[in-house]
Amino acid sequence: MQVGIDRIGFYTPNKYVDMTELAQARGDDPNKYLIGIGQSQMSLADQTQDAVSMGINATLRYANQVDMKTVDLLIMGTESGVDQSKSASLFVKSALKLSPEVRTFEIKEACFGMTAGMMIACDYVRLHPQRSAIVIGSDLARYGLGTSGEVTQGAGSVSVLIKANPGILTIGADHSAYSSDINDFWRPNDSPVALVDGKYSTEVYLDFFKRTFADYQGQTQKQTSDFAALIYHLPFTKMGYKANRLAVDQQDTAIVQRLEQSFTASAVYSREVGNIYTASLYLSLLSLLENGQLKADNLVGLFSYGSGAMGEFYAGQVVAGYTDHLNPEKDLALLQRRQKVSVAEYEHLFNEALRQPEDNVELVSDEEEGYWYFAGCKDHVRQYKQK
């Protein structure tokens, strides 16, 4: 029996900032952002979209196509938690009307959180093949106005359904994990934005990739040439490009070309959405599946990285007929529905979203019909509504 991803849903808020305009406003050369960092746009969440509402919206993209009664595990990875105690996944469970018997909780280890959830969910389904699990990554990447990390912000969520005999990607039990207690990126309780040692974080990311990829190859006897694609956590697309260059070093031209083409396909969505922390690797996967040229049984390697730091490399195999489980037109429409906001408007919305909304004041969303949003707090209890 094989276990893996049967469905993928994606959501990003309805506003974006153009990177050329942001570069001009900050007095930088636009090519630094467009080429040097590799980002064209970044999605922007106003006060009414948070980790919970985005996670609900991502899951609703496939919820009506599957038997939700088989779901008895719901895991949410996020580093944009809405409460120090109550799990974000409980709000999601309620919106999705999942049964009270569902086991549900939130996981945190920076951008690694969704991968941690995936591993738990796959093992769970291996033991309970009749059951299925939902794993969500949902985040708002915020570094602050005028900081060097500003160009690597973003907002969005990816939700996957894990089940036996999946329709998209089977996930092997082999994996290579590596961790170290370091301070490359973190967000202390008294800060609404992340603190980061940017250059150090990129060095550690590449070091962890080299270690886990080599270890995985040693364990499984797989060669770089066995992979149809290698995909990465993409805090910004240039980061994954650098890791991919390391992977293809000393490979023959055909392999380099194949892995570079598949990397480009995997980075299409992140280039426009920006960093979505926990969900970023899975946005790369969706982008590869919808913009690449994968065939049945192709091997895809996935590198997950969470600052602090935790890295893991694992692999999956593409399932025949996987395109029947995707909807690229709908995902493109989701990106294209976003309205561009000026840099001044972005700065205003950014500052507003950092403030705790006044209690008992209802927030109004400008999202389209059907989407969920955060409607403010009633007596300090968060309220979520559907438009």
Closer residue to ligand CAA, CB minimum distance, 249 or 358: 249
Confirm if 6 and 167 have CB atoms less than 8 A apart: yes
Confirm if 54 and 9 have CB atoms less than 8 A apart: no
Confirm if 92 and 59 have CB atoms less than 8 A apart: yes
The answer to the question of residue 287 lying near ligand CAA (CB under 6 A) is no
The answer to the question of residue 185 lying near ligand CAA (CB under 6 A) is yes
The answer to the question of residue 305 lying near ligand CAA (CB under 6 A) is yes
Active site residue 79: yes
- Both structure tokens of 188: 């202390």
Active site residue 21: no
What Cα–Cα distance (Å) separates residue 371 from each residue in 39, 172, 311, 327, 368?
A: 27, 34, 33, 18, 6
Of 56-64, 124-132, 232-240, 377-385, which segment contacts ligand CAA by CB under 6 A?
232-240
x/- map, 265-284, ligand CAA, by CB under 6 A: ----------x-x-------
Residue list 9-38, contact with ligand CAA (CB under 6 A) = 29, 31-32, 35-37
Of 12-20, 60-68, 210-218, 234-242, which segment contacts ligand CAA by CB under 6 A?
234-242
The answer to the question of residue 286 lying near ligand CAA (CB under 6 A) is no
Catalytic residue, chosen from 122, 150, 175, 233, is: 233
The answer to the question of residue 355 lying near ligand CAA (CB under 6 A) is no
The answer to the question of residue 205 lying near ligand CAA (CB under 6 A) is yes
Among 2, 202, 251, 386, binds ligand CAA (CB under 6 A): 202
The answer to the question of residue 152 lying near ligand CAA (CB under 6 A) is yes
Active site residue 122: no
Q: Which residues are catalytic?
A: 79, 111, 233
Positions in the binding site for ligand CAA (CB under 6 A): 29, 31-32, 35-37, 111, 148-149, 151-152, 184-185, 196, 198-199, 201-202, 205, 233, 235-236, 239, 275, 277, 305, 307
